[in-house]
Chains A and B, each alone.
Chain A
């Protein structure tokens, strides 16, 4: 079974918090929830459910000088440990580096966090040069030898600008929820199509074309309202709006149809521009 392998380097504000975090995670890894809860309370009342996800497996917590390394695996569809990071940042975590190996595609991704924010690799190294040797060990050893060591850590996923972990988590949740809703909607539609004996693909194409048509109609209405309100010449703008109300939906639908058919269906698909003049004549 495919899985995602996570390695999380955690750097705390002071050695005491590091020790407490270490005890929490070592007890959690061993399955001793009671002791873990006791130390989580000492860490400032951190919520155990937030710190640890029951879906994680193959877990291991290794205390190293100056930081804590956490390793665990998740299913391929499970979330990044953003909730745990968010909670830890509220309880004495200073910085963290997350490395995820996606077994299914054989790719590694790294994310850098500093003071509660997701930052770029460069920003992380500028702010915490002392931890570079820890999070990128080969880079330190093999510096100046070849480019291979450099490339190993070039898989960092950097944000355009620093983003708070809490916000990142909300975005991820929203994205996942929307994808889920879209998938459910499609399944529902496919079921309905199956009942009426129509192909789900044809149904989906019809829905997309309808949406393109409505988009065109909405654009035409907005254009008419804005121009009539702003400029003199009521009948000119009403007439133009009427022409657009016919031409725009047809144009958008033709474009959408062409995009849906892809490259193989070009022979019989009319170019979108051809609809323009025909529509104008029809409208008049």
Chain B
């Protein structure tokens, strides 16, 4: 009990950590070059974690408030980019899958039906369930940040 984080915040942290491990474990490291997608995934999970931790503390100093708002902006941007990528299937893994599925489409269609991608609605629902800890953290942070934004405006 070294922090001010409530038990339910801890539950979100634990779930987020599990998702983080699962997602990062499934991502392949590119052979060469900077692993941009992996870096973005790290930001996608770690920035909301910092936001969630900040939610339980009173941010009295203006510098802290500005920092919190900046972190929130970065998180929301990355989350938006990720969700768009999930919908369009334009992620690092998505490209791999797309390439491997090409020959199937040319060949027999009956067998290929089993491997059909789920509809975009299911993809979005799946992504929301998988990333719910991150989305919850962003939601809570937005709720906390709203009065700060109003004061600034």
Contacts and interface: CB of A to CB of B under 8 A. Distances in A.
Contacts of B5: 230-232
Nearest to A233: B7
Interface residues of A, number: 10
A27 interface: no
A72 interface: no
Interface in B32-79: none
B6 A232 contact: yes
B55 to A, nearest CB: 13
Interface string B1-24: 111111101100110000000000
Give the interface size class of chain B: 10 to 19
B1 A234 contact: yes
Contacts of B9: 231
Interface in A227-253: 227-234, 236-237
Given A231-B5, A232-B5, 8 more contacts: A229-B2, A230-B13, A231-B1, A231-B6, A231-B9, A232-B1, A232-B4, A233-B6
Contact of B13 (A228, A229, A231, A236): A231
B139 to A, nearest CB: 19
Contacts of B10: 227, 230-233, 236-237
A123 to B, nearest CB: 13
Interface of B: 1-7, 9-10, 13-14
A236 B13 CA distance: 14
16 contacts: A228-B1, A229-B1, A229-B2, A230-B2, A230-B13, A231-B1, A231-B3, A231-B5, A232-B1, A232-B4, A232-B6, A232-B7, A232-B10, A233-B6, A237-B7, A237-B10
Interface in A204-234: 227-234
A140 to B, nearest CB: 27
Contacts of B4: 232
A195 B73 CA distance: 68
**Shortest beta-carbon contacts, A-B, top 10:** A233-B7, A231-B10, A231-B5, A236-B7, A232-B7, A232-B6, A229-B2, A230-B3, A232-B1, A227-B10
Contacts of B1: 228-232, 234
Contacts of A234: 1
Contacts of A236: 7, 10
A150 to B, nearest CB: 20
A237 B3 CA distance: 15
Contacts of B7: 231-233, 236-237
Interface centre among B1, B5, B6 (most CB of A within 10 A): B1
A162 to B, nearest CB: 14
Tell which of A230, A231, A232, A236 has the most Cβ of chain B within 10 Å: A231
A116 B120 CA distance: 54
A231 B7 CA distance: 6
Nearest to B14: A227
A233 B7 CA distance: 5
Nearest to B6: A232
B18 to A, nearest CB: 11
Contacts of B13: 230-231
Contacts of A237: 7, 10
A234 B7 CA distance: 8
A237 B1 CA distance: 11
B8 to A, nearest CB: 8
A233 B3 CA distance: 11
B34 to A, nearest CB: 14
A227 B6 CA distance: 11
A230 to B, nearest CB: 6
A224 to B, nearest CB: 11
A229 B13 CA distance: 13
A234 B4 CA distance: 13
Contacts of A227: 10, 14
Nearest to B7: A233
A237 B13 CA distance: 13
A207 to B, nearest CB: 27
B91 to A, nearest CB: 24
